[in-house]
Amino acid sequence: MPSPSSAPRIVVDGLVYLSDGDPEPLATGGVTAANVTVAHMLGDVAQAFDEMAVWIARIAAPGSRWRLVRRAQDIVAARDEGRTGLVMGWQNTLPFGNRLERVAAFHAMGLRIAQLTYNEANLVGEGCMESRPDAGLTRYGHALVETMNAVGVAIDLSHCSEKTGRDAAAASRRPVLLTHANARAVHERVRNKSDETLRAVAATGGVIGVSIHGFMNWSGRPDDPPSLDGFVRQARHVADVVGIEHVGIGTDYAAVQDDATAQSVLDMSKALYERSGGEYARAFGNTSAGRYPAGVPSPRQFPRLLEALERGGFTGAQVDAIAGGNFLRAFGEIWG
């Protein structure tokens, strides 16, 4: 086992929206662990169960290069073992339905992060692409936040409306997360958050996973594609608003061997969500690589993100914190 002084830095990707089951892209990019979306964003309880069961079988298979992350210490262990830490995550709470007892059941299967809403409203609250900006967390949503806190499932607010996110942050007794969201003050996009919401997340001890993804890291102009410079501007703004200890990275990458594997998700976002996928596809096409800055189309290029932060003036210790140290700390506080 490496000594603490010689061990590689902990790198946590706050959101990988799809994996084909092969950790190679993440391992090649030096990613210690990732929050991988293990159930379809719009799927029901049966689909979530089946998709998580497939992941459990993969992890248990002889020679598996994954380590299931149940506690923060498992991320450190994954690094020391040369494996990739799998944080099982959802981007919606639809599989819970109105059954709070399902939180503990899915936690037992390995679920550790759940986004309260996707882009639409659900039983919990309002999504960021709904038309009722003043609608927040529902009564059931408050009960779900309390249950997730008690069980130890991290609350992700990335796709929530502004008010739903702030309501959840105020209600939570543990840190809440924006696993993949940027600042609206830098890029005025529907998926990005106001400084008020960033501060509400940080006040819980939470972390904001700044993203390179074009839906969030883009001015909205077709002549101004997403860039690493834009990503660094986002990280600097969030650090200035809430402090470096609350900044992480959430790429919103697909970690796959063949980009065609992700095409169904790309097509869904283009067809269903005009204000993100639709606008972006018209400007830059609807390919996986085209959703990211030039030169960093996959998790294999993750080191270039950290190099960009260093070029942007962040110190080595600050890059360590952004790369994974801050998420590691928050996970420890949430999961126990």
Q: pLDDT at residue 23 above 60? A: yes
Q: What is the pLDDT of residue 3?
A: 44
Residues 147-200 have pLDDT tens digits of 999 999 999 999 999 999 999 999 999 999 999 999 999 999 999 999 999 999
Over range 210-223, report the average pLDDT.
98
Single-letter residue type at 332: G
Q: pLDDT at residue 1 above 50? A: no
Q: What is the pLDDT of residue 2?
A: 45
The CA-CA-CA angle for residues 221, 225, 255, to 5°, reads 135
Q: What is the pLDDT of residue 329?
A: 98
Residues of the chain with pLDDT > 70: what percent?
99
Q: pLDDT at residue 261 above 80? A: yes
Residues 108-133 have pLDDT tens digits of 999 999 999 999 999 999 999 998 87
Q: How far is CA 190 from CA 26, 155, 187, 248, in A?
A: 28, 20, 9, 20
Q: What is the pLDDT of residue 286?
A: 98
User: Taken in order 195, 197, 203, 205, is the CA torsion positive or negative?
Assistant: negative
Q: Which residue has the tokens 């609250």?
A: 125
Q: What is the pLDDT of residue 5?
A: 54
Q: What is the pLDDT of residue 98?
A: 98
Q: CA Rg, the chain, in Å? A: 18
Residues 172-184 have pLDDT tens digits of 999 999 999 999 9
Over range 258-263, report the average pLDDT.
97
| Four-way CATH pick for 12-256+287-335: 1.10.260.40, 2.60.40.10, 3.20.20.140, 3.90.1150.10 | 3.20.20.140
Residues 71-103 have pLDDT tens digits of 999 999 999 999 999 999 999 999 999 999 999
This prediction's pTM: 0.97
Q: What is the pLDDT of residue 6?
A: 73
Over range 14-34, report the average pLDDT.
98
Residues 293-308 have pLDDT tens digits of 999 999 999 999 999 9
68, with CB counted inside 10 A (0-12, 13-18, 19+), is: buried
Single-letter residue type at 49: F
Q: What is the pLDDT of residue 181?
A: 98
Residues 268-289 have pLDDT tens digits of 999 999 999 999 999 999 999 9
Q: What is the pLDDT of residue 273?
A: 97
Over range 316-334, report the average pLDDT.
98
DSSP H helices, the chain, are 24-28, 45-60, 72-81, 101-109, 139-151, 162-171, 195-203, 228-242, 263-272, 279-284, 302-311, 316-320, 326-335
Q: What is the pLDDT of residue 61?
A: 97
